[in-house]
Amino acid sequence: MPNNIPNYIDLINSFTSGNISANEFEKKYLELFKNDEKLIDCSDEVYEVLDTLFYAVDSYCSDPDLQNQLVDSLNSHQLLDAAIIALHGLSHI
């Protein structure tokens, strides 16, 4: 796989397998995605999957009280679902 894609897959696998929490995944994914200079070289399909997951991660809110106040926020279960979809998408590209 080109670029840093294996790093994304490893991180997503860590989250979906329960090795890291949603909060830790949020922090690590945002850091990886925002600082990945190699994203420019990936295919449109790969970028779309990673960018869609970025928006899900960015919408994640760990505070249940705030989740009720924020219209488009995601809880940890919804973030997990988005990560599983992304992992599936990356494995089929």
pTM over 0.85: yes
In degrees, to the nearest 5, what angle opens at C-alpha 45 toward C-alphas 39 and 46?
40
* Domains: count for the chain: 1
CA distance linking residue 45 with residue 43, whole number of Å:
5
Residue type at 92 in one-letter notation: H
CATH of the domain at 25: 1.20.120.650
Tokens for 44, please give them.
């449109």
Q: Which domain holds residue 45?
A: 5-91
Per-residue pLDDT tens listing for the chain (93 residues): 457 899 999 999 999 999 999 999 999 999 999 999 999 889 999 999 999 999 999 999 999 888 778 888 999 999 999 999 999 999 988
